[in-house]
């Protein structure tokens, strides 16, 4: 596996002159943010050795690399049939590349009844309900220790910066706990009731494996969820992926302002 990560990283390095230390992973419907960088260089996932490719609508499947930021337009998910080592492959490649700070975004369902579609939630912690962990198996010592600490999975300093940037741009944000489930079926009302009892504010099918591996690699992590719909039982209408993409498109200008402001403060 180490050779695969190194080969993928070498391919990317050979196709860009830029060496940013900050990355952004763009979730469903949020990929347009990467198009704002002038003179950026694009590297398609499908061309990178050993790199998994997304099969989901709303995930363009490429790196957009500028002087100061490496953007991932889309990710792969456990529910697509990938192994956890594939789901988190990009994180380890970015670590080798030299990424030190990472903003991980996603589209999520609202569990907290005070939330509304279109809200942006700064993630303060997470609950892993995926039934597995990406660090299971032989530890790869070049990335991190066998038993990494997760007491501050989401960096407190980055959270403060995100809140400051939101206030300065008059963007209302929520804060809360993200719970991850495998998907691809949306959760049942009973599962959402359970998530609420456990303390979750938003639910999704990604992010947590990436955050675990990013922490293992020593990266500082900021997580932001776009609440694209209210979860089953909170909302009485059937759920669909089209609504996720629609809401992502509706909030993309607000999302872009917030992410750009955060980047301006951490680069």
The catalytic position among 80, 187, 210, 243 is 80
Is 205 designated active site?
A: yes
The catalytic position among 59, 95, 126, 216 is 59
Is 11 designated active site?
A: no
Please state, in angstroms and rounded to a whole number, the distance separating the CA atoms of residues 73 and 238: 27
Q: Angle at CA 161, nearest 5°, toward 168 and 207?
A: 115
Please state, in angstroms and rounded to a whole number, the distance separating the CA atoms of residues 134 and 194: 24
Task: Give the Å distances, CA to CA, from 113 to 231, 236, 262.
Answer: 9, 12, 27
Is 232 designated active site?
A: no
The catalytic position among 34, 94, 107, 162 is 107
Pairing of strands 173-180, 69-73: unpaired
Helix (H), strand (E) at residue 241? helix 241-250
The catalytic position among 34, 77, 95, 180 is 77
Is 95 designated active site?
A: no
Asked if residue 133 lies in contact with residue 84, where contact means CB atoms within 8 angstroms, the answer is yes
Is 206 designated active site?
A: yes
Is 28 designated active site?
A: yes
The catalytic position among 5, 8, 23, 28 is 28
Q: Where are the alpha helices (DSSP H) in 17-116?
A: 84-87, 89-97
Q: Angle at CA 24, nearest 5°, toward 111 and 223?
A: 30
Is 60 designated active site?
A: no
- From 11, 90, 14, select the one nearest 49 (Cα to Cα): 11
The catalytic position among 42, 79, 235, 256 is 79
The catalytic position among 106, 155, 229, 261 is 229
34 sits in the region (left: phi over 0; alpha: psi -120 to 50; else beta) called alpha
The catalytic position among 8, 72, 205, 231 is 205
- Residue 104: partners with Cβ closer than 8 Å, 6 or more residues away: 24, 25, 207, 210, 211, 214, 221, 222, 223, 224
The catalytic position among 42, 194, 241, 246 is 241
Is 152 designated active site?
A: no
Is 130 designated active site?
A: no
The catalytic position among 54, 112, 196, 206 is 206
Is 216 designated active site?
A: no
Give me the active site residues, please: 28, 59, 77, 79-80, 107, 205-206, 229, 241
């Amino acid at each position: 596996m180490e050779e695969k990560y190194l080969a993928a990283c070498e391919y990317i390095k050979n196709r860009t002159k830029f060496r940013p230390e900050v990355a952004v992973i763009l979730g469903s419907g949020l990929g347009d943010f990467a198009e704002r960088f002038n003179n950026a260089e694009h590297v398609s996932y499908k061309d990178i050795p050993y790199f998994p490719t997304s099969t989901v609508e709303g995930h363009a499947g490429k790196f957009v690399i500028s002087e100061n930021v490496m953007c991932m337009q889309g990710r792969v998910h456990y529910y697509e049939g990938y192994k956890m080592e594939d789901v988190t492959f990009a994180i380890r490649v970015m670590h080798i590349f030299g990424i030190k700070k990472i903003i991980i975004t996603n589209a999520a369902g609202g569990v907290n009844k005070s939330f509304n579609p279109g809200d942006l939630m700064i993630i303060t912690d997470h609950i892993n309900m995926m039934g597995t962990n990406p660090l299971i198996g032989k530890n790869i010592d070049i990335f991190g220790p066998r038993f990494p600490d997760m007491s501050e999975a989401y960096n407190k300093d980055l959270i403060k910066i995100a809140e400051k940037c939101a206030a300065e741009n008059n963007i209302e944000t929520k804060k809360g706990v993200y719970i991850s489930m495998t998907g691809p079926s949306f959760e049942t009302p009973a599962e959402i009731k359970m998530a609420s009892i456990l303390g979750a504010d938003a639910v999704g099918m990604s992010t947590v494996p990436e955050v675990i591996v990013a922490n293992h690699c020593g990266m500082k992590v900021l997580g932001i969820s776009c609440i694209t719909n209210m979860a089953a039982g909170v909302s009485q209408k059937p759920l669909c992926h089209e609504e996720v993409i629609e809401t992502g498109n509706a909030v993309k200008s607000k999302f872009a302002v917030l992410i750009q402001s955060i980047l301006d403060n951490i680069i």
